[in-house]
Structure formats: C-alpha cells, structure tokens
Structure 1
Amino acid sequence: MNKMKLIRKIAVVSAIYLAGAGIAEEVAHAQKPAFLLSNTCVKTSGRWGTSREEISVGKELFTSVMYITSGYYGGDGQPSSMTCRIRPAGSASKFKTLRLAFGIDDSARKGQVTVSVHLDGNQVASRTISSGEKELLLIDVSKASSLALETSCSSKCPVFVHVFQALLEPISSRPGQRR
C-alpha cells in the first residue's frame, strides 16, 4: 500500500514539474526579441538584404546582420527603403521596442547618409551619419502595424549602411503584469 502511495506522489510531482517546465519554456520563448526581417518585409526601392560580415565602424568591430544601400552605382541621391509588417491587422501588438543599431564602415566613401524610421507611414526618427559613425535608436513600436526604414544619400553615393541590430523587443508577458 505504501509503495502505491509513493508511486502516485512521484507521478504527481513529475506531472507538476513537466507542466511547469513547459510553461517556463513558453514564457521564455514569448519574451525573446525577434529579428526585424523575420516579419513580412518588402523592398519599396533600392537594395537591402541580410549579411554576415565583420566590419569596422569607429575603430570598433561589429557583425553586420543586414545592409541597406543608399544611392546606386552611376547616380546620386536615390533612396532605398523597405517596409515590414510588425503586427497583422486585427491582432494585438507583440512588440514594444525597435532596437536599431547601424553604422557606416570606416573604409566607406565619405558620403553622408540619412537613415529614417517610419511607423504606419509617419516618420518617427532620423539620423545622418558618415563613414566611421554609428547610431543606436530605441523606438516605441507598441501601437504600430508597419515599420519602414529608408536611407538617402546626399553625395558620393552609393553608401552601404550596415545594421548590427534590428530587433523587435517583445511586450513583457510575465504573469500578473498588466499591459
């Protein structure tokens, strides 16, 4: 009889442990930042794409995860842009913040590039950088459905803007926390 009680207790404790482990894994996964390009994105002009390249910016080494080319070979001033859906229509927002870190390689042409961020068609941030300069933008995206990145070059184009981070940080979903 005692052996049966012991087996039942072990079974109950095991079931509770496994259920708790599954919930913990689900919560951890839900709170993991998402790479911007893991969403549906389209090119609206110019060139952009993913990369895995080590570059020097401001005499620091970074890993470029994507690039956006401003301008094109043989001409100046042509903007490049991409637009991503970060929240499907009718759904609740999963993301709170865009963490966008970018820069221009130390060895790049000496042109200036303006990087702009738009949420639902409205410009919310803009930074102008040159060779060897980097920027970090933290932008609230909790109310946005779409996000667009645009680069424009004023001279000595084309210039590659390398992106080191393009992360959408999730809205916290810890139990008991209000949204």
Structure 2
Amino acid sequence: MVKLRQLIAGLMTATVLVSSTTPVDAQKRSVGVASLGEMSCQNIEKGKYEAINRDFPVGLQMFRGIAKVYTHGDFIDNEYTSQVVCRITEAGQRSKYKTLNLVFGIADNNKRVNGALVRLSVYRDGNFYKYEDVTKGQLSTLPIDVTNVRSIALEVECKRGTVKNKNRCPELIFFQDILE
C-alpha cells in the first residue's frame, strides 16, 4: 500500500513537471508564415514598435499582446505620430507573402483610455493604403494585401486625447501581425 502511494505520488509529480514545461501559448507556424516583428523594422522619430508578450484586457476579454506602438512610455503624444517601417521583401526578390493580418486594440485598463481615439494608418511601399480608428473596448482586425509589396509602414496617431489629458492617448497593442 505504501509503495502504491509512493508510485502514484511520483507519477503525479512527473506529470506536473512535464506539463509545466510545455509552453501553453506556443503555436507551430506553417511554412511561409511570419510575424511582422521578425522583419527588419525601423522606428521613425519618436515612434516605437516594441515586441512584448503580455496579457491585456480589451472589450472585457483577455488577449495576448505581441507588440505595442507608442511615442513615450505607455502613451501616444498628439504632437507626434508614431511611425515604424518594416521590410517584408528584399529588393529584387519576389514577395513570399500575400496578406498581412493585423489584430489590434487599446487595453481597457490603460489610465489614458477614456475618451481617446487612436488611428492606425497603413502604407504600402510609401503609399497610403487605409486606416482604422480604435476606441476603448474595440478589437480591430485589418487584413492588408501585400502582394508585390516590399515594405509596410504603420503610423499611429492620437486623434482625440483622453478626458483627463487631451494631448495623450493610450499605446496601441497588437495581438496579431501575421504575414501569410
């Protein structure tokens, strides 16, 4: 009876150890799929694109943030635009990707969220493509055709500041930036 208890306890301990070393959020990507964060990207002026791995509440749901765009700390100053440019295809090479899928929003718990309006504008090879405005509780999905596109630029602007500070908006959080 004692040996059976020891065996069961040993199996339970081994199970806990093995399961705790398995990455819960890890996903195997298909061949030909990449993340924008893996590309050669450059911040412009005050803009910052930073890779992260943290949970954020948006629309009373929890999502894993993979990157954020801001000008200072955890906010976007309305005097500056936050810009980042990423090369997705080397010069002279054929494009490997057809679509860039972006999913983004503003964290519900950011102290600068109430009343703020943040705009994400997308440029393909330096030419304006489209924009999407985001407010508190909104998770936006933006598929972008990148067929024969060499570079993508993201521009984030504070279009309307918060109730407390009209000159600042919360950082924009990306939950997906997949090139397929």
The TM-score bracket by the shorter chain reads 0.7 to 0.9
What is the CA-CA distance between 1:48 and the residue it aligns to?
A: 2.1
Corresponding residue SS for 2:37: helix
Instruction: Write the distance in 1 (CA, Å) between the matches of 2:97 and 2:42.
Output: 19
Instruction: Write the distance in 1 (CA, Å) between the matches of 2:38 and 2:48.
Output: 18
Instruction: Write the distance in 1 (CA, Å) between the matches of 2:124 and 2:35.
Output: 17
Corresponding residue SS for 1:95: coil
Q: Which residue of 2 aligns with 1:22?
A: none
Instruction: Write the distance in 2 (CA, Å) between the matches of 1:74 and 1:122.
Output: 23
Aligned partner of 1:92 among 80, 90, 94: 94
Rg comparison, structure with higher value: 1
Alpha-carbon spacing, 1:135–1:74, altered in 2? closer, same or farther (3 Å): closer
Which structure has more helix as a fraction of its residues?
1
Deviations 1:31-86 (A, max 9, x none): 34101021110001322201111000001110000000157769533110100011
- Whether the 8 Å contact between 1:96 and 1:142 is mirrored in structure 2 is yes
The 5-angstrom pairing of residues 104-123 of structure 1 reads 104-108=106-110, 109=112, 110=114, 111-123=116-128
Instruction: Write the distance in 2 (CA, Å) between the matches of 1:98 and 1:146.
Output: 11
- Whether the 8 Å contact between 2:97 and 2:146 is mirrored in structure 1 is yes
Instruction: Write the distance in 2 (CA, Å) between the matches of 1:31 and 1:75.
Output: 39
Q: Which residue of 1 aligns with 2:34?
A: 34
Unaligned 5+ residue runs, structure 2?
Answer: 1-27, 163-167
Instruction: Write the distance in 1 (CA, Å) between the matches of 2:49 and 2:169.
Output: 12
Give identity over the alignment, percent.
31
Alpha-carbon spacing, 1:74–1:98, altered in 2? closer, same or farther (3 Å): closer
Q: What's the Cα RMSD here?
A: 2.2
Alpha-carbon spacing, 1:132–1:74, altered in 2? closer, same or farther (3 Å): closer
TM-score by length of 2: 0.72
Q: Which residue of 1 aligns with 2:43?
A: 43
What is the CA-CA distance between 1:96 and the residue it aligns to?
A: 0.5
Instruction: Write the distance in 2 (CA, Å) between the matches of 1:30 and 1:92.
Output: 19
Tell me the amino acid that sits aligned with residue 168 of structure 1: L
Tell me the amino acid that sits aligned with residue 40 of structure 1: S
Q: Which residue of 1 aligns with 2:67?
A: 66
Unaligned 5+ residue runs, structure 1?
Answer: 1-27, 170-179
Q: Which aligned runs of 4 or more in structure 1 are off by greater than 6 angstroms?
A: 71-74
Alpha-carbon spacing, 1:145–1:32, altered in 2? closer, same or farther (3 Å): closer
Instruction: Write the distance in 2 (CA, Å) between the matches of 1:74 and 1:95.
Output: 30
Q: Which residue of 1 aligns with 2:174?
A: 163
Aligned partner of 2:141 among 136, 139, 157: 136
How many corresponding residue pairs? Answer: 142
